[in-house]
Structure 1
Amino acid sequence: MSTTLVIGASGTVGSELSRLLAASGQTVRRVTSQAPAHADQVQLDLVSGSGIAAALDGVDRAFLLAPPGHTNQHELLGPVIDAARERGLRRVVLMSAMGANADEHAPLRRAELQLERSGLPWNVIRPNWFMQNFHTFWLHGILAQGRILLPVGRAKGSFIDARDIAAVAASLLSRDDLAGRDFDLTGAEALDHDEVAALIARETGRDIRFQDITPEAMLEGLIGAGLPRDYAEFLVLILGFFKAGYAERTTDAVQAITGRAPRRIADYVREHRQTWLS
């Protein structure tokens, strides 16, 4: 029986991926940065590097992503990739981000390249912005002010449901025919934030709108929320790429890999309407 290590197992993608893998009969080893509370958990701290050997012991497949809040992703993921290579894992799937391969010196791209050059059977997936951001990271502004507050203007994004990302990762971890390939993952359509706000407003009956703000205001808000300055600056930077139009492109990767069209944002909004009524 295959044993798959899932880094980020309690997160938006990792929790669904763990569920899908377990449902398919795989043994899942869920990474936690805290003391394990369940038999299927293993402690691994990517920041300090402690626990890597134990986490990979007896594993033949692994799903990797960098923890949020850090901009040195290559330094965090590199030791895990090296350890996976030493153990000869049968498959490693790395979740990066759409656009990460635009700059060969960007930290995420450096992690991608290390995996690609490792000699391991690998896949890299680069999802676009998550639909789930609207009921997590952007939720406070919606609940408190009825506004989606972002410095992105009228640019569109092909937002993707995290469950579709997990389905792609589960498929890639379970098959051998697509090894050695990278995939940009998007939703089926590109919408601007005015259109997303209108969908949420219609579903909830609330006055919810998008409000364009300055990058400076976004940075101040992120730092005020407790994010480290370098990570807040990184988020503002990539939101600038969104505003420049780089998030609008759509791909057929979800359909090609899973055999199912990606979820549409109207369906996501309908499923999560209660979160914006709290």
Structure 2
Amino acid sequence: MSRILVVGASGTVGSELSRLLAAEGETVVRATSRAPVAADQVALDLVTGAGLQAAFQGVDRAFFLAPPGHADQEALLAPLIDAAAAHRLQQVVLMTAMGANADENAPLRKAERRLEASGLAYNILRPNWFMQNFNSVWLHGIQTAGQIFLPVGDAKGSFIDARDIAAVAARLLTSQGFAGRAFDLTGPRALDHAEAAAILSRATGRTIGFTDITPEAMLQGLLGAGLPADYAAFLVQILGYFKAGAAERTTDAVQQVTGRAPRTFEQYAKDYRTSWA
């Protein structure tokens, strides 16, 4: 069995990945930016670099992602990749985002390139927009107005359940045969936000709709919620890519790696229905 460092272990993907790895008998080291409160946690602040070297002690493999709230993801990921190379880890799985490889100058793509050149055995996961956004970052509008407010028009996205991302990462960290490959991860079909709202309505028994707003209104809402200006602008920018159709494509990557189809939006809505009660 391996000792696996999970960065972002308290997040949507990392918490599920940690659970899956532990269930398979792996030793999980859960990185946290807060003071550790459990024996399997280690303090790691990606912004300051505090705890970086200590987090890698005795680690064989690792899962990396950049935490939300930061537009320059490469600045956070580069020290992790360099530390992994210095400690000669057996494998690194890096999560970026679908479309990250479309622009060689994008911070996430620079991080991918750094990992590719590191000499490490690696995989790169590029998931599409999470289904779980509907019960987290888009939740306020649903709770207060019964609406999903986004500047995306009728564009479609092949939303993916974060649990499926974690399942792919767990498989890659505990098996052979996929080294050096990147996977674009999507759900089984593309939906527009009106269709997603209708599915949520059926699952919850309440009326949930979708309202298309301007990018300017989205930006002001994000700033009003306290997001850093550069990160708010980044979110509006990538929502623009969504509106342009960049999120509609589907892949069979979840099936390839895990041997089963990704969860449907209907299954997600059923599983999380209490979130919108």
- Structure 2 counterparts to residues 6-85 of structure 1, below 5 A: 6-85=6-85
User: TM-score, normalized by length of structure 1?
Assistant: 0.99
- The corresponding residue for 1:228 is 228
Hey, what does 2:174 align to over in structure 1?
174
Q: Given residue 208 of structure 1, which amino acid in structure 2 is its aligned partner?
A: I
Kindly tell me the number of residue pairs found equivalent between the two proteins. 277
Query: d(CA) in 2 for partners of 1:159 and 1:263?
Result: 10
After the TM superposition, which segments of 4 or more aligned residues of structure 1 sit over 3 Å from their partners?
none
Which residue of 2 is the match for residue 165 of structure 1? Answer: 165
Please give the residue correspondences for 1:116-127 in structure 2 after superposition, counting only pairs within 5 Å. Answer: 116-127=116-127
SS of 2:58's partner is coil
Equivalent AA in structure 2 for residue 146 of structure 1: G
Cα offset, 1:80, TM superposition: 1.1
Q: Give the partner amino acid of 1:69.
A: G
The CA deviation at 1:204 is 1.9
Counterpart mapping for 1:95-106 below 5 A: 95-106=95-106
Q: Shift of the alpha carbon at 1:176?
A: 2.3
Q: CA separation in 2, counterparts of 1:44 and 1:270?
A: 35
Q: What do the CA deviations read for 1:85-139 (whole angstroms, capped 9, x no partner)?
A: 0111000000000000000010000000000110000000000000000011111
- Counterparts in 2 of 1:87-102, with a 5 A limit? 87-102=87-102
Greater alpha carbon shift after TM alignment, 232-241 vs 73-82: 73-82
Aligned partners of 2:166 and 2:271: how far apart in 1?
18
Residue matched to 2:133: 133
Identify the residue that residue 271 of structure 2 maps to in structure 1: 271
Q: CA deviation at 1:196?
A: 0.5
- Name the CA distance, whole Å, in 1 between partners of 2:152 and 2:75: 30
- Residue 142 of structure 2 corresponds to 142
Which residue number in structure 1 is paired with residue 237 of structure 2? 237
Superposed CA offset, 1:222-246 (max 9, x none) = 0000000000000000000000000
Q: Distance in 2 between matches of 1:204 and 1:80?
A: 41
- What amino acid sits opposite 1:166 in the alignment? A
Shift of 1:202: 1.7
Q: Distance in 2 between matches of 1:185 and 1:98?
A: 7
Alpha-carbon distance, 1:205 to partner: 2.2
2:175 alignment partner AA: R
- Identity rate of aligned residues, in percent? 69
Gaps of 5+ in 1: none
Aligned to 1:2: 2
Cα distance, 1:141 vs structure 2: 0.3
Q: How large is the Cα RMSD of the aligned pairs?
A: 0.6
CA distance in 2, matches of 1:274, 1:66: 29
Quote the offset at 1:165 in angstroms. Answer: 0.1
Whole-angstrom distance in 2 between the partners of 1:205 and 1:58: 50
Residue 86 of structure 2 is matched in structure 1 by 86
> Distance in 2 between the 1:174 and 1:246 partners?
31
Matched residue, 1:107: 107
